[in-house]
Amino acid sequence: MAIRTARLDELPRLQDIERAAGLCFRDIGMPQIADDEPPTLDELAAFQRAGLAWVSVDGAGTPGAYLIAGRVDGTLHVEQVSVHPDRARRGLGRGLLEHLAGFAGREGASALTLTTFTEVPWNAPYYARCGFRPLEDAALSPGLREIRAREAAHGLDRWPRVCMRRDL
């Protein structure tokens, strides 16, 4: 699989990837997450225009996974990374995270950050294996506090969540 910047014409495919990837949350008692809509095309386009949207593509150039990121308090924040279930367990998510780490390092960012569910095996435990560590609430930057507040307002705090950081 190759990683490249997402194209505007691929944004509907990114939504499809996220919807498919989200279905597994239904199996663990989180149907609200499974039913949550992906970012809108306009939201995805903003990441793409900013140069902060990447896809992992197969030999035919078809995206099977994607990552979008934002700049938050001197870090690059993983807004979303999703892998289509048909392409799971092939290192696509980890490859996208490594790509982002390289990009962030070239930009002079100090770290990667993200927020995730603590008790979902393919969330916090996975990110820990990818070099992220949990942050205590007192260590959150203003931007991360704002992200967590938006998530809480969206109802995501119904399940335990954590901010994580990977120093570069």
How is 144-159 classified by DSSP, letter by letter? HHHHHHHHHHTTGGGS
**DSSP-based three-state secondary structure for 119:** coil
> For residue 147, is pLDDT > 90?
yes
CATH of the domain at 58: 3.40.630.30
Confidence band of 78 (pLDDT split at 50, 70, 90): very high
Neighbours of 138 (CB within 10 A): 5
For the segment 26-35, what is each residue's pLDDT rounded down to a tens digit?
999 999 999 9
| Spacing of C-alpha 67 from chain mean position | 5
Cα 105 from Cα 25, distance rounded (Å)? 32
Averaged pLDDT of the chain:
95
- Segment 97-105 shows an average pLDDT of 97
- Least Cα distance to 100 among 68, 125, 72, 131 occurs for 68
The predicted pLDDT at position 121 comes to 86
Q: What range defines the domain where residue 11 resides?
A: 2-167
For the segment 38-74, what is each residue's pLDDT rounded down to a tens digit?
999 999 999 999 999 999 999 999 999 999 999 999 9
Question: What's the total number of domains in the chain?
Answer: 1
Q: Is the pTM of this model over 0.75?
A: yes
The predicted pLDDT at position 160 comes to 92
> For residue 101, is pLDDT > 90?
yes
E-assigned strand segments in the chain: 2-5, 53-57, 63-72, 75-83, 111-117, 133-135, 161-167
